[in-house]
Structure 1
Amino acid sequence: MSRCDLEPGAVDQRTPARPARRGLVLALACTAQGVVGLDTAIVNVAVPSIQHELGVSHATVQWVVVAYGLLLGGFLLFGGRMTDYLGRRRVFLAGFVIFSLASLLAGATSEAGLLIAARGLQGFGAALVAPAALSLLAVTFTEGAERNRALGLFGAVGGAAGSIGVVASGLLTAGPGWRWAFFINVPIGVVVIVLATAFLPRDRAVDRTTRLDTAGATTVTAGLLAFVYALQHAAGHGWLTGTALGLFAVSAVLLGAFVLIEARSAAPLIPPSTLRNRTLVAANLTAFLAFATLLSYIFIGSLLMQQVLGFSPTRTGLSWLATTVTVVVVAMNGARLIPLVGIRWVLVIGLSLVSVGAVWLARVPAEADYVTDLLPAFLLAGVGFGLCGPALQIGALSGVPESAAGLASGLVETMREIGGAAGVAVVATVLVTGSGLAGFHTAFVLITALGLLGVLTALAGFGSLRRTR
């Protein structure tokens, strides 16, 4: 591929990495993925303690959770395109600096408003870090078995991060206090920034002959922000309230404007060739449904244990260790199945197992025993998501040129986040309309349906060839 084959504004970063440096890139990328995913869930169990210490209402303290996911989901596509335009190393470092400073501010403040603002800033930093980390792997490891192994570990960390966050949230809140849910990011961030500065290859000069599609970036980011906020608002206040309907309408108008801008842009944010990549499109649609299933599974499962079964926050967190360990083990080894049976069947098997786990929890009794009534479902979820995580990322990057790796990474991360937010919002609404244990049973039936819809999407969207290219 010659220089002229790169998209306008792309950064040429095709210098092969030495084996030792490839290992370091993998370690940095996995650490980044872990930290970003960890902070999605690490404050969930700490919310009551934060509310008590800061003396704020339940409605206010929920924004400590919402602000992070809102800006993370809204800016991921922007972060992915910035990765291609400004360089992977630059965006990775900038994102980690922002994330680490925001974590320090969040842990140190005693003002609810500043804490919420800091969480939003964390989300913005994470939206730069996540696609840059995945893009670094895409250009460092050759497509095929080598990249699949790297993405297997990367997917294992990402799949386990949410449940690890729940465990860490309970332990930190019961131990040194909720502020350490934020302070813990600071030393990690400093180490990552130092190592990335010292060892990641410098970004090459950017071709600025074509300007970045600023109008497209602005409208799609604003549209995604409005959509994620609409989901969060609808879950708490109802889907047919004036505010919720107005937010969805604003989101639709902005995203519609984005489509029109892209159709007329000389250098669109999302090139048409991207949407013609069937595997990429299928991976994104399946990622949306898979993470709608995953995050709602963890969300409803955690509420079930605390509100119905009487588990403490610490015991609830530790109960997810079975899922966490299984995700890591399966994802690290499951990527080897892809060359043998193909992405399609790995996803079908994974999402089917998760659906069976949800069916299992849809019949859990009020006096449940952890070993017989919960553990089988948690293990099935671990195996299922351990298979799905790497397969989705491999699918999203298959056949994508290096000049668009950041965009592809941003797209799949965006669909993961928005899918998770949508899943939690929809399932939470079903839970609220139900009563007691029956409401939880209904919620898990809906989670089963989401998982099976993901199975159908994988069957229809991915080709039957065994090769991942």
Structure 2
Amino acid sequence: MPEPRSTPILAVLAAAQFVVVLSTSIVNVALPAIRDGVGLSDGAMTWVINAYGLAFGALLLLGGRIADLRGRRPVLLAGLALFAAASLAAASAGGPGQLIAARTVQGVGAAAIAPAALSLVMQVFPPGPGRGKALGVWGAVSGAGGAAGVLLSGVLTAALGWRSVFYAGALGAALVLVAAVRSVPTFVPAGRGLRRIDAVGAVTVTVALVALVNALTLAGRSGWTDPRVAASGAVTAVLLAVFVRTERRHPAPLLPPSLLRTGSVAAANLLMGLLGAVWIGLFFFLPLYQQQVLGDGPLQAGLSQLPLAAANIVGSSLAPRLARRFGPVPTLAGALVLLAAGLAWLSGLSATGSFATDVLGPTLVIGLALGVAFVQLTAAAVARVPGADAGLASGLVNTTRQVGGAVGLAVLASLAASRTAASGLGHPHLVALTAGYRSAFLASAGVAVLAAALTPLLTRRPSSEHQAASTAQQFTPSIQENRS
């Protein structure tokens, strides 16, 4: 059991993660109202989500490394303050450009919060049952945050209008900031504060990821022959090549190649990227189906996420016990197979269906599976990582989830749009829309099957030259108690 003092610290850090994850999906139900309120085109709606997800995912590595070098508590507090300010800017946006810019800055703040918070959890809870329970809480918060975001989006949009979803984000970040100032101690970096930051690596990987998602989004709207698709793809390839070269030569790289050879870091992040694609896609398409096809209002669409959120919390709480009984890898593989089954079931929804017949059953299965999978992959991605790189490893696992989600959403949105356009030639509009959503859920099921097939990669042993570093799980920096 964690020490009593550790419990309030975990609560604050989990709340910080909840705010970050919540903001990934809290705009989903509000998207139609946001579109009308600021004059967004249908194609630009995905950028309200992807602007946040891309800035978040692309800068997480930098946020994690800065947290390692400059101190995790200061980075956490700065991220919360920036997030709150950007949320207020989004709430007052008068046009598409202002809103998307504010969402981008929100993502920058989140990129500081998430790795700093998770690495602080790893410092507060040493290896053992206490850390396992803490990661169970973390997984529950991470998984349930997506469903809770959709729920709050519906409730707030129906009651107070779309701007209230951003005011809620600002309020949440401000409250967590106050609690963190009072509760989270300062972990002093042990002689690492003077190391250089890899600015070239940060810039190249950020722009490369934005270019990649832009290429996929353009391809979905204009086709793969659009010259802008080829140009964005070329920019992506060149910048990724520069990033890889930089990381091999920089004295303090943003992503040290040795980290990917530590324990199961590389395999866990690969699988987290695939899971992120499924997760973001689910919370994008499901509310649209409920509102545009079933005719649900924002409140009804939001409240319908409660069963999914409850199932997710149950799965997260069960994950540590299942892993102890069956082993971490079989537990993860089983969760991913269950996730694929739930998504395949959901892909059978119809234009004349209802929440009870088409949505409830599959989402209970999906929520349970997501809860188990998130806990297992988060634990695998940070296990056996040396304490000095804990922030970086925490940033990396959040990066792969967010970038996987952004890339996955671009691909799934393109697939759904193409299927809807093809079906629209001979079917009513609602039937064509449903055909697009069905294809997106079925493709997501295929991604989950692929992830399940790749779970044996987690059993690869670390190479001997990194064995000593990878087994250093204890954090040893001094703790300077915060007395403010």
By the TM > 0.5 criterion, same fold? yes
Instruction: Please tell me whether residue 328 in structure 1 is matched to residue 313 in structure 2.
Output: yes
Equivalent residue in structure 2 for 1:404, among 384, 389, 392: 389
Q: Does 1:170 align with 2:167?
A: no
1:117-136 to 2 correspondence within 5 Å?
117-136=101-120
Matched, 1:361 2:346: yes
2:87 to 99, 103, 119: 103
Match of 1:443 among 437, 440, 443: 440
Distance 2:147 2:220 in 1: 22
Deviation at 1:57, TM superposition (A): 4.3
- Establish whether residue 43 from structure 1 lines up as the match of residue 27 from structure 2: yes
Cα distance change on mapping 1:319 and 1:344 into 2, 3 Å: same
Determine helix, strand or coil for the equivalent of 1:175: helix
> Are the equivalent residues in 2 in contact too, given 1:54–1:110 (CA < 8 A)?
yes
Q: What SS is found at the alignment partner of 1:143? A: coil
Change (3 A) 1:56 1:407: closer
Residue pairs, 1:25-36, within 5 angstroms: 25-36=9-20
Gaps of at least 5 residues in structure 1 are 1-17
How far off its partner does 1:375 sit?
A: 1.5
For 1:293, the aligned partner's letter is V
Report which stretch shifted further, 184-193 or 46-55: 46-55
1:171/1:272 CA distance change after superposition, 3 Å: same
Alpha-carbon spacing, 1:65–1:111, altered in 2? closer, same or farther (3 Å): same
- Once the 2 structures are TM-superposed, how far is the Cα of residue 101 of structure 1 from its aligned partner? 0.9
Q: Is 2:110 the partner of 1:113?
A: no
Cα separation, partners in 2 of 1:296 and 1:337, compared to 1, 3 Å: same
Shift of residue 60 of structure 1? 5.2
Are 2:314 and 2:371, in contact at CA under 8 Å, matched by a contact in 1?
Answer: yes
State the one-letter code of the partner of 2:326. Answer: V
Separation in 2, partners of 1:375, 1:318:
12
234 and 211 in structure 1: CA distance in 2 versus 1, 3 angstrom threshold: same
Higher deviation after alignment, 197-206 or 53-62 = 53-62
CA separation in 2, counterparts of 1:310 and 1:194?
40
How far apart, CA to CA, are the structure 2 residues paired with 1:167 and 1:209?
Answer: 44
Task: Please report how far the alpha carbon of residue 388 of structure 1 lies from its aligned counterpart in structure 2 after TM superposition.
Answer: 0.5
In structure 1, give the amino acid aligned to 2:20: V
* Cα distance change on mapping 1:322 and 1:208 into 2, 3 Å: closer
Moved more, 334-343 or 70-79: 334-343
1-structure distance, mates of 2:13, 2:211: 29
Query: Could you tell me how far 1:32 is from its partner in structure 2?
Result: 1.2
User: Normalization by structure 1: what TM-score?
Assistant: 0.90
Q: In the TM superposition, what is the alpha-carbon distance from 1:318 to its structure 2 partner?
A: 1.9
Post-superposition CA distance 1:152-210 (Å, at most 9, x none): 11111111111211111111111011111111123322222222222222242553454
Give the Cα separation in 2 of the matches to 1:293 and 1:60. 21
1:21-420 to 2 correspondence within 5 Å?
21-55=5-39, 57-59=41-43, 63-204=47-188, 206-208=191-193, 210-420=195-405
If the length of structure 2 is used for normalisation, what is the TM-score? 0.87
In structure 2, the CA distance between the partners of 1:61 and 1:446, relative to structure 1 (3 Å rule), is closer
Give the conservation status (yes or no) of the 8 Å contact 1:231–1:421: no
Are the equivalent residues in 1 in contact too, given 2:61–2:254 (CA < 8 A)? no
8 Å CA contact retained: 2:336, 2:448: yes
Classify the secondary structure of the residue corresponding to 1:20.
coil
Following superposition, the deviation at residue 140 of structure 1 comes to: 1.1
Counterpart contact for 1:74–1:228, Cα < 8 Å: no
1:133-155 superposed Cα distances (whole Å, 9 cap, x missing partner): 11111111112321111111111
Q: 2 CA distance for matches of 1:33 and 1:65?
A: 17
Structure 1 contact 297–444 (Cα < 8 Å) conserved? yes
Rounded Cα–Cα distance in structure 2 between residues aligned with 1:261 and 1:457? 29
Deviation string, structure 1 residues 42-85 (Cα, Å, up to 9, x no partner): 12222332333334544556543332122112211111111111
Task: Kindly report the root-mean-square deviation, in angstroms, between the aligned alpha carbons of the 2 structures.
Answer: 2.3
Instruction: Report the alpha carbon displacement of residue 463 of structure 1 after superposing the two structures with TM.
Output: 5.1
**Number of residue equivalences:** 450
Is contact 1:47-1:62 (8 Å) kept? Answer: no
What letter matches 2:406 in structure 1? A
* Cα pair distance change 1:46/1:197, threshold 3 Å: same
Aligned partners of 2:267 and 2:110: how far apart in 1?
Answer: 25
Question: Does 327-336 or 207-216 show the bigger shift?
Answer: 207-216
User: Which runs of 5 or more structure 2 residues have no equivalent in the other structure?
Assistant: 424-431, 462-470, 474-484
Work out whether residues 210 and 267 of structure 1, in 8 Å CA contact, stay in contact via their aligned partners in 2.
Answer: yes
Q: Residues 240, 412 of structure 1: CA spacing in aligned structure 2 closer, same or farther, 3 A cutoff?
A: farther
1:457 corresponds to = 454
CA contact (8 A) 1:70 1:229 kept: no
- Aligned-pair distance for 1:325? 0.9
Q: Is the 8 A contact 2:27 2:153 kept in 1?
A: yes
8 Å contact kept, 1:72–1:124: yes
In 1, distance between residues paired with 2:35 and 2:278? 28
| Contact 2:217-2:414 at 8 Å conserved across structures | no
